[in-house]
């Protein structure tokens, strides 16, 4: 039995704790992190340690650079089969997102690929994407279904998401997104498909496969009335909701998510002030997805000034998906959020940590604070702004999940 106070102790780094409750601010120069049983037990200056490091921990790590909370990717569609590089080409030749979707591309293209793939093949294709995110500092991620659009294939997607978490030792929050697109077998009967989506949900939830429920509320997706029905089914099961809201038009999606106490409303390019006010009142997080904005070459910016004015926390995520955001770096998403949306580097870092945790309903991570999970990243940088400054490259020296280094 270990009689020492800490399992591990990280010394010599500067800490960007992001903990605004700390006297003197959230930055600690020449800091130290100590952890035990996967939880942070010391966060403070090295000089305030009560004894020589060797007497405090089984493992003492001397390092340089900066440590931050582990990054949290709170919106991904990471489990899919194949790719849609040809759609990238089509868009650059003038086709719109809606044009491609109406021609049977877009989401339905990925649906065909997923339905043709075995669970083992899906896992084999998806694991490298998850590993890429982890290598760049992610310690928690959300994965949505939505490329199956029938019971067996939605279940397959959610099962693979769970397996990714088990194999990589990372927290994976699963989101049921069967209301993502209308499958071919339900063409002309969107309400009938929503009936099926609602019927599948209790069965998948009973198998432990669903942490939250999402929908695509949009002209090429589902109406507010249909989305409301899905959310009512989620509420009956005690499941939180999230929403792809107001990406291509303002159908009141942000306000609808807020009405149901949604964890987040995501995209938000067309959200007006009424929706922002509703989110602020409900405590709903705005999830910004600059990867899709960038790839689709959008010009309609999310209402950043309104979100700031009303105090709505802004998370940042990759939206990793095969069609509109083939992005395998949350740090790159942070950079894009700064470039396109004019977030500051600190805004973006908070968006990928503390606010992203809130967007997943997780209160045990996102900050470097005693009592929270020992999820943190040691970065080879001289200032935290470098996380959003460099385009590409490898900055994460070591990534720790619950106090354990990732491979």
Q: Is 324 one of the annotated binding-site residues?
A: yes
Structure tokens at 220: 């090429």
Give, for 350, the enclosing helix (H) or strand (E): helix 345-351
CA 345 to chain centre: 18
CB 214 within 8 A of CB 241: yes
Q: Among 362, 252, 257, 351, which Cα is nearest to 304's?
A: 351
Q: Is 319 one of the annotated binding-site residues?
A: yes
Number of H helices and number of E strands within the chain?
A: 15, 18
Q: Is 310 one of the annotated binding-site residues?
A: no
E strand residue ranges, 164-204: 171-179
Rounded to whole angstroms, how far apart are CA atoms 194 and 199? 8
Q: Is 84 one of the annotated binding-site residues?
A: yes
- Helical ranges in 249-289 per DSSP H: 253-259, 273-282
Q: Is 226 one of the annotated binding-site residues?
A: no
Give, for 264, the enclosing helix (H) or strand (E): strand 264-267
Please state, as a whole number, how many other Cβ atoms lie within 10 Å of the Cβ of residue 92.
Answer: 9
Pairing of β 66-69 and β 138-144: unpaired
Q: Is 271 one of the annotated binding-site residues?
A: no
Q: Is 321 one of the annotated binding-site residues?
A: yes
**Unique residue bearing structure tokens 């770096």:** 329
Give, for 14, the enclosing helix (H) or strand (E): strand 14-16
Rounded to whole angstroms, how far apart are CA atoms 195 and 128? 35
SS3 readout for 201-228: HHHHHHCCCCCEEEEEECCCCECHHHHH
**What are the residues whose beta carbons fall under 8 Å from the beta carbon of 203, sequence distance 6 or more?**
151
Q: Among 266, 273, 256, which Cα is nearest to 293's?
A: 266
Give, for 15, the enclosing helix (H) or strand (E): strand 14-16
**Unique residue bearing structure tokens 């940590």:** 353
Give Cα separations from 322 to 79, 93, 208, 248, 265 (angstroms).
9, 18, 26, 18, 21
Q: Which residues are annotated as a binding site for Fe(3+)?
A: 75, 77, 244, 319
Q: Which residues are annotated as a binding site for Zn(2+)?
A: 75, 77, 244, 319
Q: Which residues are annotated as a binding site?
A: 75, 77, 84, 147, 180, 244, 247, 319, 321, 323-324
Q: Which residues are annotated as a binding site for 4-imidazolone-5-propanoate?
A: 84, 147, 180, 247, 324
Q: Which residues are annotated as a binding site for N-formimidoyl-L-glutamate?
A: 147, 321, 323
């Amino acid at each position: 039995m270990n009689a020492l106070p800490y399992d591990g102790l990280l010394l010599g780094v500067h800490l960007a704790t992001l903990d605004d409750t700390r006297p003197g601010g959230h930055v600690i120069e020449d800091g130290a992190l100590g952890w035990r049983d996967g939880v942070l037990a010391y966060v403070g200056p090295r000089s305030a340690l009560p004894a020589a490091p060797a007497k405090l921990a089984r493992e003492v790590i001397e390092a340089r650079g900066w440590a931050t909370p582990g990054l949290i990717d709170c919106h991904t569609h990471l489990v899919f089969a194949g790719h849609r590089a040809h759609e990238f080409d089509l868009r650059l030749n003038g086709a719109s997102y809606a044009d491609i979707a109406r021609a049977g591309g877009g989401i339905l293209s990925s649906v065909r690929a997923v339905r043709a793939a075995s669970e083992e093949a899906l896992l084999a294709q998806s694991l490298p994407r998850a590993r890429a995110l982890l290598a760049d500092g992610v310690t928690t991620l959300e994965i949505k279904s939505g490329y199956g659009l029938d019971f067996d294939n939605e279940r397959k997607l959610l099962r693979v998401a769970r397996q990714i978490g088990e194999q990589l030792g990372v927290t994976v929050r699963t989101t049921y997104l069967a209301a993502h697109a209308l499958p071919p077998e339900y063409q002309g009967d969107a309400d009938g498909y929503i009936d099926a989506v609602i019927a599948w949900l209790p069965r998948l939830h009973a198998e432990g496969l669903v942490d939250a429920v999402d929908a695509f509320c949009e002209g090429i997706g589902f109406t507010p009335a249909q989305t409301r029905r899905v959310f009512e089914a989620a509420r009956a099961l005690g499941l939180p909701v999230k929403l792809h809201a107001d990406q291509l038009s303002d159908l009141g999606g942000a306000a609808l998510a807020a009405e149901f106490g949604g964890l987040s409303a995501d995209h938000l390019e067309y959200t007006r002030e009424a929706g922002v006010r509703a989110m602020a009142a409900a405590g709903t997080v705005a999830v910004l997805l600059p990867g899709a904005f960038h790839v689709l070459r959008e010009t309609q910016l999310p209402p950043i000034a309104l979100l700031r004015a009303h105090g709505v926390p802004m998370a940042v995520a990759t939206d990793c998906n095969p069609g509109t955001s083939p992005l395998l770096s949350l740090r790159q998403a942070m950079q894009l959020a700064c470039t396109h949306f004019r977030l500051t580097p600190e805004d973006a870092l908070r968006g990928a940590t503390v606010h992203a945790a809130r967007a997943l309903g997780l209160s045990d991570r996102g900050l470097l604070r005693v009592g929270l999970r020992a999820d943190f990243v040691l970065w080879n940088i001289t200032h935290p702004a470098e996380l959003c400054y460099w385009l590409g490259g490898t900055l994460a020296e070591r990534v720790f999940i619950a106090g354990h280094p990732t491979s």
